[in-house]
Amino acid sequence: MKVVTILGIGRVQERFEDRPIYKYDKRLECLYTLKKQRYTNMLALLIDNFDPQDIIPIFTMDAKTSQTAVLKNEFQDEHIEIFNDKNFISNDKDFYKILRIINDTISDEDEYIIDLTHGFRHIPILATISLISQNLNNTDKIKHIFFAKEMDLYKEYEIIDLKEYLEFANMSYMLETFDKNYTVSFVAAFENEDFENLRGELAKFSNDILSNSLKALDNRFDVILEYIENIKKNEQIFTFQASLDKIKRHVEELKQISQKEDFQKLYEMAKVFNQKGYLLNAITLLFEGIGRYCASRLEKISPKVETYVREFKNSEIFDSYDLTNQSRNLVKVGRNMKSYLFGTEKARAHFGLSEAKARGYLADIKNLICDRLEAIPNIEEFKNFIFDAEKFRNNLAHGNSSDEIKNTKLNFKNLLDGYKKFCIDGDILA
């Protein structure tokens, strides 16, 4: 494991008793021990407690000159071998070059401890920027970020680990990207168990919702909300409290939507996807919602039709896609549709009828439905709405290959309005 330290100006302390006392905080002292209590500074401490071959200073010329004097005074050895020219900052005003040096220093696959204690003004800030970018791309690379917190000026320091704060930055970034588009950004694995649990569950949620697997979401809402509540017990989460609360409210909203009737749920989810910018997902759900609406209403046209649909649902050939697709098509094309759900051969097999009786039974069911549909005022307007929704969906699904869609957002808003008018408010097939 490499130890990268950002060097500042060192000051020689001739007398041992004048050197400050260093100690690890409670978490770090479970992992590391110090050979002694007093050190001139963090560089001396690191060299004494880690392998000098693993120490990588990033330094200016003034820092190198002063720190070698410190090391010679403390160890009778300047440890010149730890100073590599590629880590030398020749111009402390050249921020881009400094950032490149820091990035290059921690670009290997090794694990790193980063010490930010004595860095010169802006250099620790640049190092922090580098650490955030590195930590987003590599899961376990940065083990610790040491910082000697001043407990008593020039007398006592406690070495703490800032890695937790880096996790806060990563969590904030992840929550913001999820809130914007339901994607979970690739960030480092969290050491905090609650953070890691939430990240894993949001990743599953993302996969389900972006693949329109809405049924699978039902088992995720309460789990996500539980993980959020666990995280909120941490008093230090103020950096991403607002993002966490926003996602909690949205998950609670989606949970409420999931409890609605299928055709209403799909309408609400289509609106959500539209807001997130996933127009193809949105029209796919809206078109599916039309089929679910038609299926739910055709089934209730009469006791005879209700029994017929129930037989289909209980049969070996039942497929929910067939039920929604054929129900929508029957409303759309009416008597031009050959048969509804079973078909002659399947009706013969299921009901044990002759071919003639099967044809007659299927014709009676279809005619019963069509008679009722044709008596509905404005049914032609609803049919045209279904045609428009299907054309829009097909056009989007095939890369707008048939006709140019000049204003897709406006067209989809019109379809949402039509769905609300016909299926939600008007309930035209009731």
pLDDT band at 191 (very low <50, low <70, confident <90, very high): confident
- The 10s digit of each residue's pLDDT in 3-21 is 999 898 999 999 999 999 9
Residue 145 confidence (pLDDT):
87
Instruction: Count CA atoms closer than 13 A to 113's CA, side-chain side.
Output: 21
Can you tell me the mean pLDDT for 119-139?
A: 60
| pLDDT reported for residue 31 | 94
Of 11-20, 41-50, 118-127, 402-411, which range is least confident? 118-127
Q: Which of 212, 206, 179 is CA-nearest to residue 281?
A: 212
Q: Looking at the predicted structure, is the pLDDT value of residue 132 above 60? A: no
3 state SS of 352? coil
Q: Which residue has the tokens 């070059």?
A: 97
Q: Which whole number is the average pLDDT over 369-391?
A: 96
Mean pLDDT within 70-97: 91
Per-residue pLDDT at 143: 87
Per-residue pLDDT band at 165 (split at 50, 70, 90): confident
Q: Is the pLDDT score of 107 beyond 60?
A: yes
Pair type for strands 21-24 and 142-152: unpaired
Cα–Cα distances (Å) from 328 to 18, 76, 331, 389, in that order, read 86, 88, 5, 11
Instruction: Please compute the mean of the pLDDT values over residues 175-196 and round it to a whole number.
Output: 85
pLDDT (0 to 100) of residue 120 = 60
DSSP assignment of 152-188 equals: ETTTEEEEEETHHHHHHHHHHHHHHHHHHHS-----P
Average pLDDT over the chain reads: 90
- Cα–Cα distance for residue pair 303/300, rounded to 1 Å: 7
Tokens representing 81 are 């071998």
Query: Tens digit of pLDDT for each residue in 293-318?
Result: 999 999 999 999 999 999 999 999 99
For residues 56 and 106, what is the distance between their CA atoms, to the nearest angstrom? 10
Span 81-94, average pLDDT: 90
pLDDT digits (tens, 9 = 90+) for 316-335: 999 999 999 999 999 999 99
Of the candidates 363, 361, 369, 382, the one whose C-alpha atom is nearest the C-alpha of residue 428 is 382
Dump pLDDT digits (tens) for 209-228. 999 899 899 999 999 999 99
- With cut-offs at 50, 70 and 90, classify the pLDDT of residue 244: very high
Amino acid 170: pLDDT: 81
Q: Which two tokens stand for residue 93?
A: 């005003």
DSSP symbol at 20: P
Question: Three-state DSSP class for 404?
Answer: coil
pLDDT at 63: 93
Listing from the earlier edge strand, what are the strands of the sheet with 156-161? 21-24, 156-161, 142-152, 112-115, 2-6, 55-58
User: Is 140:188 a contact under the CB 8 Å cutoff?
Assistant: yes
3-state helix, strand, coil split of the chain in percent (to 5) is 60, 10, 30
Structure tokens at 108: 């290997």
DSSP secondary structure letter of residue 59: B
Q: Taking each helix axis from N to C terminus, what angle separates 241-258 and 262-276, rounded to the nearest 10 degrees? A: 150
Give me the DSSP letters along 259-310: TS-HHHHHHHHHHHHHHHT-HHHHHHHHHHHHHHHHHHHHTTS-HHHHHHHH
